[in-house]
Structure 1
């Protein structure tokens, strides 16, 4: 804005570093829960365990037939909207990004 009037130049944001994005509708790939969280990142047992705890996935993993090795997605076990949201959040957290963009990701999570 120049003197209270739009300048005609579209706004820009410059981001340096890595970005993790969580959409309102979580995307889950046809793979294990663990593979969905790691998403190509190197496995770090301590950080992985902290991530699944922080994202409230431990109760979900306890009821899945093979825990974090359970296959999910279109060809695997169906997850609730809340479970998908927590899984997508865990993927973003595990990425250890510099910037996190989240689009109302917890809208499907039960308030209990």
Structure 2
């Protein structure tokens, strides 16, 4: 995989970088390489700061919904409420019998795919990391929910506006609001477009 064009000299701390390409071109693999989860043939990966990662397959603990979001961090009510609202989870909490104290079953069995993805995203946002790797987090949600989340969380006015964000996406409607678009083909960055 050639990630030469996608290096720290091309990505600044307050930009949204979109990574696009057809299925199987290596978008998720590129994020895995940045996370150190793939063997590198050559080169190196340098990151500065704490990383939050939201995978395509949401990871849920067998714990309360709140514990899934806090993930061991101290509960800060104002930040928590803001994250819940931004990640479009408020209506879900109102429907759950115990609100955010509802026990989430094994692998999130009592949540829909979209709910699991939003909880996973909320966990990442609540962590207040420096770098965000988001692997197509809006694919499991409805378009109007996706727009809300992009505007409130990922987009240029969202909660991550001052963070480094690498967004793998198939949602072309979001591309005009990103700073750069990296196009992958056959495991290589074939072009970079600055908007």
TM over 0.5: yes
Instruction: Say whether residues 1:110 and 2:142 are aligned partners.
Output: yes
3-state DSSP class of the match of 2:66?
helix
Give ranges in structure 2 of 5+ residues lacking alignment.
3-40, 145-195
Bigger RCO (CA 8 Å, 6+ sep): 1
Higher strand share: 2
**Offset of 1:10 from its aligned partner?**
2.3
Question: TM-score, normalised to structure 2's length?
Answer: 0.51
- Distance apart, 1:11 and its partner CA: 3.7
Alpha-carbon distance, 1:101 to partner: 0.5
2:89 maps to what in 1? 57
SS of the residue 2:132 aligns to:
strand
Select between 95-104 and 67-76 the one with higher mean Cα deviation: 67-76
- With 77-86 and 33-42 compared, the bigger mean Cα shift is at 77-86
Alpha-carbon RMSD across the aligned residues, in angstroms, is 1.8
Tell me which residue corresponds to 1:48.
80
Q: CA deviation at 1:13?
A: 2.5
Runs of 4+ in 1 over 2 A off after TM superposition: 9-13
Q: Which moved more, 1:85-94 or 1:75-84?
A: 75-84
Aligned partner of 1:15 in structure 2 is: 47
Q: Displacement of 1:74 after TM fit? A: 1.2
How many residues are treated as equivalent by the alignment?
A: 105
**Structure 1 residue ranges without an equivalent (≥5):** 2-8
* C-alpha deviation, 1:92, in angstroms: 0.1
Quote how far apart the aligned CAs of 1:111 are: 1.9
Displacement after TM superposition at 1:76 (Å): 6.9
- Between Structure 1 and Structure 2, whose CA radius of gyration is higher? 1
Query: 2: distance between equivalents of 1:51 and 1:69?
Result: 16
